[in-house]
Amino acid sequence: MPQFFTNKRLILLLVGVIVLVALIFFTLKDRENASVPEQIVKDAVGFGQSVFSKPAQYITDLIDDVDLLLNTYEENKRLKSRLAEYASVQAELSDVRLENDRLRKALGKEEDLRDYEPVQATVLARNPDQWEEKVVIDRGEVHGVKKNMAVMTAEGLIGKVILTTPFTSTVQLLATQDPTYRVSALVTGKPEAFGLIEGYDTERHELIMKRIDSTFDIKPGQKVISSGLGGIFPKGLLIGEITEVTTEDYGLTKQAYIKPAADFSMLEHVIIAKRTSMAVDGSDAGNTGEAMDEAADEAEGGSGS
């Protein structure tokens, strides 16, 4: 009797294997059309998935909505705080501007190093051989653009106008390798440290600021702006942020590497600064570097005292 059941189990196992192989062969025979068993199984599984997936999806969406609502609430709190801070800064800035205007009128000084009239322009062309050197913009002499006017983007200073035609202008970028191209700049802080932007490190993609008095304590992270003393660039235009400070000239001066605030490789829309008081005009363009040098040296002497 036990041997009979053993043989019976073996026979059932063989029959099952044969049926399984037959089903596999049958399903693989024609893959363009599903067989009747496959259709039944697929329809049953699809119906089951639709029954369970819809409630599950609803619950998931509900949890996501609650999480998004909580995040929105926290972000709204942060934005309200920032908005209140922004309103306070705006009020303080407005008061400072009014006070500055009153003091300038009291002194009989109407011009300021920060004053300029913005002229919007679009970059027309760039020479691939001088991609980091020059750009051509769609504003020229008929728009009031003159040689040596400063050019910037919303992010920061990028260069100056070196050539004008009636309808276009050529801008030389701060990333130029021209050794005579200098920008009088200062490191923000207390006290402010003056220096000259002289050169561009092509490997680091950073500007080089030289002739900084060694007595000034400057550190990475400090902002660098135009000083307004060179006669071309208005005061206060953001140039970049210090990334490294080294010592040069036997420890008498410091040198700083500056990450530019503007992206020189992606320039589309720029702003030309028509400065109201330009100490250097087109006739003195050849002495621009000397003028900046003398102004910066004078400023450094005044700050050091």
- Report whether pLDDT(305) > 80: no
Token look-up 């002229």 returns: 119
- Report whether pLDDT(282) > 50: no
* Confidence at residue 87, expressed as pLDDT on a 0 to 100 scale: 66
- Report the predicted TM-score, pTM, of the whole model to 2 decimal places: 0.57
Backbone angles phi, psi at 281, to 5 degrees: -105, -170
Give the tokens for residue 142: 């008929």
**In angstroms, rounded to a whole number, what is the distance separating the alpha carbons of residues 195 and 226?**
10
Q: What H or E segment, with its residue span, contains residue 13?
A: helix 2-29
Average pLDDT of the residues in 156-165: 92
Residues 6+ positions from 291 with CB-CB distance below 8 Å: 230, 231, 279, 280, 284
CATH number of 119-304: 2.40.10.350
Q: In this structure, are residues 201 and 208 in contact, taking their beta carbons and an 8 Å threshold?
A: yes
* pLDDT-derived band at 36, boundaries 50, 70, 90: low
Residues 6+ positions from 228 with CB-CB distance below 8 Å: 113, 114, 184, 234, 235, 236
Taking only the tens place, the pLDDT of each residue in 111-138 is: 556 778 889 999 988 877 777 788 999 9
Mean pLDDT score of the chain? 77
Closest CA to 254 of 213, 295, 207, 305: 213
Strand stretches in 98-237, DSSP E: 116-125, 134-137, 150-152, 157-164, 169-173, 183-187, 193-201, 206-213, 223-226
- Report whether pLDDT(236) > 90: no
3-state SS track over 42-98:
HHHHHHHHHHHHHHHHHHHHHHHHHHHHHHHHHHHHHHHHHHHHHHHHHHHHHHHHH
Domain chopping of the chain, boundaries: 35-105, 119-304
Strands 253-260 and 206-213, sheet pairing:
antiparallel
- Report whether pLDDT(303) > 50: no
Q: In this structure, are residues 200 and 206 in contact, taking their beta carbons and an 8 Å threshold?
A: yes
Alpha-carbon Rg for the chain, nearest whole angstrom, is 36
Token look-up 């605030």 returns: 261
**In angstroms, rounded to a whole number, what is the distance separating the alpha carbons of residues 128 and 142?**
28
Integer angstrom CA distances of residue 226 from 21, 134, 187, 233, 303: 83, 20, 9, 7, 16
Q: What H or E segment, with its residue span, contains residue 99?
A: helix 36-107
